[in-house]
Structure 1
Amino acid sequence: MAPTSGAAPVPPRPSGRRRLPLVLAAVLVLVLVTVGLVVVRPGPVGRWLGDGDAGPATVVPVEPAPVAVLAAADVGAPMPSAEGMRAVLDPLVGDAALGGRVNVAVADALTGQPLFERGGGEGTVPASVTKLLTAVTVLTARGPGYRIPTRAVSGAEPGEVVIVGGGDPTLAAGAKGFYPGAASLEDLANQVRTALGGNAPSRVLVDSSLYPGPVYGPGWDDDIPTGGYGAAVTALMLDGARKDPKAGQGWAERVPQPDLTAGRAFARLLGVPDSAVQKGTAPAAPTEATGAPAESTEPGAELGVVQSPPLIRLVDIMISESDNIVAEALARQVALARDEPGSYAGGATAMAEVVSELGLPAGGLTLADGSGLSRRNLISPALLTEALALAASPDRPELGGIFGGLPVGGWSGTLRDRYGAAPGTAAGAGVVRAKTGTLTRVHSIAGVVTTAEGRLLTFAVLTDQVPPDGMESARSALDRIAAALATCGCH
């Protein structure tokens, strides 16, 4: 239970990192005010964003001056004082709508100095703000440009082709699936046909052994596997295990065996009947003693490979859409990069290891999955604010990619319909960028906000004892805290 009195003065948190000047570029979101205006992205940019080949750019009317809806940070702006922050935040943090436990941390993004804490070091059930740690750890472990392969190899028996899942959750059956820019089974099948030189395969094995252990996460609510936001997590799947790749964002019906579903789709592209598809294990790759490529009929010889979009794109999808299946795939990439099993336990172990390597405060940290669906996860607000500050600094430039997908208050993602309707929240519109988290009784938010004077702050507010019927009032209370930071001089 958090104390009901005001927060104690916050001493500077010791840090082993040397803080350098902030180089996080200001991000401007532009409002298109011309009704019916269509913007056509030119070819190279369109392909980078996952579109198909674009034709010549369409001539469009001259646009009016864009309206900035995300304030730029000013590295010369004054930093709020701890006393000023307490005066503003203590009444809001004590809101009964936040339930029996609310833990908060606010820090200066430029220096990493804590400005306000109330239970800042206490592990709290975080829900989907867990994805911020998943993003930071996978970008550290794998790097922004890493791509996840899906391979096809020759089987041990003549006519046998093995599709080997590498953990790409965005893989599509055809040219276009649910995720823009995804790799295609159609492309992989074409490579296999070329490699086989016209010899038709007769059997397909599905190797999803890269992910051992249970397919559902520990600590997940009973309705999550079939509730449309979770799914069986396997090393081979199509469209995040969606039954219909044309389903919208958020809730979607998922297939019960994503690996076999993908294997059957691959077999059909090769002209192999569903009855000739089963799970198996790929033979070891042949030894190339002479340096010559292996024959396509040699067991384990590679017949084709396709690659996922780069991890920076997958991180963006995970954060902007709060995609749980992508999150679990990325947590396993952390595990594999650290020679841990590609399982829930392996991902949790590896993520905690990377957090420690980065010098972030790991006190109170317990992880069971990478999406935040597990109620066994515990993360402290201080860990989140320090992780965000690290990502905003030049110490680890590869981490800056986590900011691109953060929803903007009153504008995008899970904050699209917030910051405006509830009293006391309007000041956060276009100024708050944050990841939200929601489970029954759990409501959280963590991100960055620019003060009225232009200082960039990191903040995290985690609650896990909200009454089951108190979701809307709890969200409004969280938004009032972030909006107060946006109006803050707090000297």
Structure 2
Amino acid sequence: MRPTRWRRSTYLVVGVSVLLLVVVVVAAAALVATRQPAEQPAVEAAPAPATAAPGVVPVSDSADKPTPQGLTRALQAVLANPDLGRFTGRITDARSGDQLWAQGAGVPMQPASTNKMLTAAAALLTLDREARLTTRVLSASPGVVVLVGGGDPTLSAAPRNVDTWYRDAARIVDLADQIRRSGVDVKSVQVDVSAYSGPSMAPGWDPLDIDGGDIAPMEAIMLDGGRTQPVTVESRRSRTPALDAGRALAVALRVDPAKVTVLPSAARGTEIASVQSPPLMQRLRDMMNFSDNVMAEAIGREVAAEVGRPQSFDGAARAVLSTLEDAGIDTAGARLLDSSGLSVDNRLTAETLDEVVQAAAGDAEPALRPLVDLLPIAGGSGTLSNRYLDTDDGRAAAGYLRAKTGSLTGTNSLAGIVTDESGRVLTFALLSNDAGPTGRTALDAFAATLRSCGCR
């Protein structure tokens, strides 16, 4: 017998045997299964996958809208507070755009920092959200470098690994490193501030506010928004911010800071170093949450540059108003002398402010929707973090109300949105001039009423 034939026959016998064995095992298993006690518990089914409820519940499209009569009744008590002084306001339904309540809404009033609402809106309408400002260094002549301001107020002289006032701020040390790598032997530093024009202080600003920490002279380059103690909340501001920046670069390059000069006009030369600011949205968030006056003035000038106007107080104010007018917002009665609201000579109406909020909360201008997210939250963030926590009505509004605040001597203002207890979103703008000692808390009580009244 040949081996190959023997192997084939062997494979056939083995295959048949395996098949018979499988049949026997299956039959035995089936028999055992039929003999299991009927009461033996079955294997429990796996639990259903867990699902998370959304953290933010959309407001209902069918929620009841307050009535003008209901609002008038609910607001009578808070309106009776004499510390509101001269008071104007407007309340609007965010979804329909219907005006629900108004008092003197067309009267120009001192807006204080609610003016920043207009600056933020104009920036969102004209600038790229990722826009950054560039600070450059030029090699102008042998041994001379020029620090060229690009309008970035976040630049910092802090060493690496040391906190700065503004998150992700560019640093002087990075410019110094780039200069050293360029091979330029630096003997002196000059500062070019030509990007900005006009005066460095706006009409209606109090020079004492520099020492008070509210503002710095607006120059095209400064350190930490002009703060002399960058991580101190109560830091005063510098009176020579551009010169300070030049001296910081000189120190980093081991050059005599006493030799730093500010140029009267634009410099020319070869660029040897540059750094960039944080993106626009981050700077807008700082401006709105902390009511940063210097940041507002810098962003106003960005808007001016984008629309072809001078980077000055007047150019920025005109650029902001014209941008809003082009977007269909009524700016009648507006008189702006700055972009921050610090000037006591600014005037805005509640109608203009509410139209800006309405455009952001409604569907008319999608580009403005981020403005809602930039507003401080009552009892939770920014300039509202410590407000709305002292009364029952205030606590009821905490988390449901978002607004930009404003405060000057005798002036309190508030503009934003609130979701009432029915789930309806309302926009509002409230302006109080010649206010009494409890004017701010009276204004908060007015806005908190919008949350809890229902106002049917």
TM-score normalised according to structure 1 size = 0.78
Q: Tell me if structure 1 keeps the 8 A contact 2:193–2:266.
A: no
Residue 395 of structure 2 is aligned to residue 426 of structure 1: yes
Matched, 1:486 2:451: yes
Q: Distance in 2 between matches of 1:307 and 1:401?
A: 23
State the shift of 1:424 in Å.
4.0
| 1:234 aligned partner | 219
Distance 1:431 1:335, change over 3 A: same
Q: What pairs with 1:92-107 in structure 2 (closer than 5 Å)?
A: 92-99=78-85, 101-107=86-92
> Which residue does 2:108 correspond to in 1?
123
Larger Rg: 2
- Which residue of structure 1 lines up, in the alignment, with residue 176 of structure 2? 189
In 1, Cα distance between equivalents of 2:293 and 2:168: 19
Aligned residue identity for 1:125: Q
Q: How far apart, in 2, do the equivalents of 1:335 and 1:203 lie?
A: 33
Partner residue of 2:148?
Answer: 164
Contact 1:321 1:413 (C-alpha < 8 Å) held by counterparts: yes
The corresponding residue for 2:28 is none
Is 1:265 the counterpart of 2:273? The answer is no
Aligned match of 1:386 in 355, 379, 382?
Answer: 355
Report the residue type matching 2:81 in the other structure: D
Deviates more, 1:363-372 or 1:72-81: 72-81
Matches within 5 A, 1:29-178: 73-99=59-85, 101-155=86-140, 157-173=141-157, 174-175=159-160, 176-178=163-165
**SS of aligned partner of 1:391:** helix
Are positions 1:443 and 2:429 aligned together?
Answer: no
Residue type at the aligned position of 1:448:
I
For the Cα contact (< 8 Å) 1:170–1:308, is it kept in 2?
yes
What count of residue pairs does the alignment treat as equivalent? 402
| Partner in structure 2 of residue 357 of structure 1 | 326
Distance 1:71 1:385, change over 3 A: farther
**Residue aligned with 2:281, SS:** helix
Q: Is the 8 A contact 1:74 1:456 kept in 2?
A: no
Which SS does the other structure have where 2:225 is aligned?
A: helix
Greater percentage in helix = 2
Tell me how far 1:281 sits from its aligned partner. 5.8
> What residue in structure 1 maps to residue 42 of structure 2?
none
In structure 2, what residue type is equivalent to 1:370?
S
Q: Distance in 1 between matches of 2:232 and 2:57?
A: 34
1:458 paired to 2:427: yes
Identity of aligned residues (%): 40
RMSD: 2.1
Partner of residue 200, structure 1: 185
Cα deviation digits, residues 378-399 of structure 1 (max 9, x gap): 1111111111121123443332
- Are 1:474 and 2:443 an aligned pair? no
Give the gaps of 5 or more residues in structure 2: 1-51
Per-residue CA shift, 1:160-205, capped at 9, x if unaligned?
Answer: 11111011111112434211111122222222222x3x23121211
Residue type of the alignment partner of 2:368 = L
Q: 300, 303, 307: which one pairs with 1:338? A: 307
Cα distance in 2 for partners of 1:140, 1:313 equals: 16
Residue pair 2:321, 2:331 contacting (<8 A) in 1 also = yes
Question: Secondary structure in 2 aligned to 1:404?
Answer: helix
Check whether the contact 1:124–1:379 (CA below 8 A) recurs between aligned residues. Answer: yes
Match of 1:312 in 2: 281
| 1:377 equivalenced with 2:346 (yes/no) | yes
- What's the offset of the Cα at 1:271? 2.7
1:487 deviation in Å? 1.3
Determine helix, strand or coil for the equivalent of 1:224.
helix
Aligned equivalents of 2:53, 2:238: Cα separation in 1: 43
CA separation of 1:441 and 1:67: change in aligned 2, threshold 3 A: farther
Give deviations 1:196-252, integer Å, cap 9, x for gaps.
3x231212110011122222221123522322112111110000101111213xx31
Over residues 83-135 of structure 1, what are the superposed CA-to-partner deviations in whole Å (9 max), with x where a residue is unaligned?
22222224422321201x10010111122221111111211101111111111
Counterpart check, 1:412 vs 2:399: no
CA deviation digits over 1:269-293, x for unaligned, max 9? 2232213311126766xxxxxxxxx
Q: What one-letter code is carried by the residue in structure 2 that aligns with 1:363? A: A
The structure-2 alpha-carbon separation of the partners of 1:66 and 1:185, relative to structure 1 and needing over 3 Å to count, comes to farther
What does the per-residue CA deviation read over 1:447-491, in whole Å, with 9 as the maximum and x for residues that have no partner? 110010111111111011113xx1xx2122111211111013222
| Contact 1:188 1:304 (8 Å CA) reproduced | yes
Change (3 A) 1:168 1:466: same
Give me the whole-angstrom Cα distance separating, in 1, the residues matched to 2:280 and 2:440.
31
Question: 8 Å contact 1:153–1:161 — kept in the other structure?
Answer: yes
Q: Aligned partners of 2:322 and 2:149: how far apart in 1?
A: 25
CA separation of 1:483/1:72 partners in 2, compared to 1, >3 Å: closer, same or farther? farther
Q: 1:4 corresponds to which residue?
A: none
Provide the rounded CA distance (Å) in 1 between the counterparts of 2:351 and 2:221: 36
Separation in 1, partners of 2:184, 2:314: 42
Q: Which runs of 5 or more structure 1 residues have no equivalent in the other structure?
A: 1-64, 285-298
Q: Is the 1:71–1:450 Cα contact (8 Å) retained in structure 2?
A: no
Partner residue, 1:49: none
Give distance in 2, aligned partners of 1:208 and 1:149.
13
Per-residue CA deviations over 1:284-304 (Å, capped at 9, x if unaligned) read 6xxxxxxxxxxxxxx522212
Report the CA distance shift for 1:66/1:274 in structure 2 as closer, same or farther (over 3 A): farther
